[in-house]
Structure 1
Amino acid sequence: MTRLIRTLGTPATTPVGPAGLSYPDVGATRTRPLPTGYHHMHHEALIGHGQEVFEAAGAAVTTWAMHRKSGARVRADSVRAEPGTAVQIALGVGPLEVAAPCQVVWTAYEEDRVGFAYGTLTGHPECGEESFVVDRRPDGSVWFTVTAFSRPALWHTRAAGPVVPLLQRAYARHLGRTLRKIATG
């Protein structure tokens, strides 16, 4: 992937995980419990009901459509989330753009569960992992869950202090609303 990443500082010294990831706890959003020493986030949103909603939501999550429709700019090495895929999510404009380089660390393409997680790469404002999963429950309801653990990696996210987790939670809620619109048309 071409490097279009603009960072506003140098990354904090952090133990590096496999494949150049900027954290050592790779896969923890799937295996749980989430590791200590990070801010944890868990957000669930009801998307709708039924097979069609489940399929539409799962496709939107794993093909980056949810992120794109939410207003983010996405560059990815593949059209669908697969382990090892490099992806960059960018929000903002001009000098206020924040680019977040990541790598897909796990995927789920199951009968009642579809999604993925990406982990941060050097240059990401945070250090950690975030998963985006669509589940179809026994009653037919379709839920979207964002699970994350992160801590500041750059000077500006450290300086922002408690504002960053609030923004992350607001973005997770925004993704849920966006996915509901996509899946229920």
Structure 2
Amino acid sequence: MARADIFSLRRPSPVRIHSALSAATAEEPSYDGVGTTAATMPRGYRQARYQLHLGHGPDVFARALTALDTWAPQLRSGIVITPEDARPEQGQTVVQCIRMGPLWTLAACRIVYRIEQPDRAGYAYGSLSGHPVRGEEAFLIERDPAGVVRARIVVFSRPNHWLVRLGAPIGRLVQRRTAKAYLAGIRDYALST
């Protein structure tokens, strides 16, 4: 996907989405520090952490994990994932179709790691070429020794397009709003099933 066509006033067609996915499968992540949302994140990127208390106990933990595995944070935020049947497994490439006000964008990502521990699980995806930003975002579900379950989002990013750079203050607000919507999507899924 060429940088010139990151944004569009019309919703991308299925042909364009699948073309972007096909091109993205051969690409490497577009940023330094792949996998570092699990450790020390690289300098030169905006970093943010968000969390939300989900509840208590093994059932809430299991449902929150199912939310992650079915893309509930993204889908409940209005993002369309292609391929639709993709699961967030390490190495999986997806294209997100995202509406931001009057603009549409396609954001190609790859799952760069997955965590599966008894009390901590999740995954991170990283941006590929043509994504409006460069960086990584991790989605984690954690259960402490008392059984309290929390969802966490850890992200680092910087603009990858002049329009995103120009609108950086708005971009930070959009990122914060999107992270809160992701957390609400996890919560709603975990508490409604």
TM over 0.5: yes
64-73 or 88-97: bigger deviation: 88-97
Q: How far off is 1:62 after superposition?
A: 2.2
Which structure 2 residues correspond to residues 6-17 of structure 1 after superposition, within 5 A? 6-8=5-7
Q: TM-score, normalised by structure 1?
A: 0.86
Aligned identity (percent) is 35
Q: Which residue of 2 aligns with 1:181?
A: 188
Partner Cα separation in structure 2 for residue 19 and residue 28 of structure 1: 19
Aligned residue pairs total: 173
Give the letter for the 1:24 counterpart: D
Q: Which residue of 2 aligns with 1:20?
A: 28
Which structure 2 residues correspond to residues 15-164 of structure 1 after superposition, within 5 A? 20-30=28-38, 32-76=39-83, 79-92=86-99, 96-164=103-171
Give the letter for the 2:30 counterpart: S
Q: How much is the aligned-residue C-alpha RMSD, in angstroms? A: 2.2
Question: Is contact 1:62–1:116 with CA below 8 Å preserved after alignment?
Answer: no
Please state whether the residue corresponding to 1:162 is helix, strand or coil: helix
Q: List gaps (5 residues or longer) in structure 2.
A: 9-25
Q: List gaps (5 residues or longer) in structure 1.
A: 10-17
Please state whether the residue corresponding to 2:121 is helix, strand or coil: strand
Q: How far off is 1:112 after superposition?
A: 0.8
Give the letter for the 1:28 counterpart: T
Question: Is contact 1:78–1:85 with CA below 8 Å preserved after alignment?
Answer: no
Give the letter for the 1:8 counterpart: F
Q: Deviations over 1:154-179 (max 9, x none)?
A: 11101102211221111111111121
